[in-house]
Amino acid sequence: MPNPYPPEFRARAIALVRAGRQINTTAYELGISAGCLHNWLKQDRIDRGEIIGTTTVEAPELRAARKRIREHET
């Protein structure tokens, strides 16, 4: 499923929160859910190396590898 929001929109939302704006207020003003913005912020922290997780760059590679493994197992 394609991402419904362009990367520029996501980056702007993340920048607003990182600049000190509240998540709930920012999400409301941008017309997105606070949960969605929380997810974007968490992924941003992963991409920056602040917390452990699968980065945006690694995710497609990991999905492709898992698909190849499933195909070989069947």
Provide the CATH number for the domain around residue 31: 1.10.10
The ranges of the chain with pLDDT < 50 are none
Q: Is 2 among the domain residues?
A: no
Domain count, the chain: 1
Could you write out the DSSP letters of every residue in the chain? ---SS-HHHHHHHHHHHHTT--HHHHHHHHTS-HHHHHHHHHHHHHHHTSS-S--TTHHHHHHHHHHHHHHHH-
Q: Is 49 among the domain residues?
A: yes
What's residue 3's pLDDT?
65
What's residue 1's pLDDT?
54
Identify the domain containing residue 60 by its residue range: 7-73
What's residue 66's pLDDT?
92
Q: Is 1 among the domain residues?
A: no
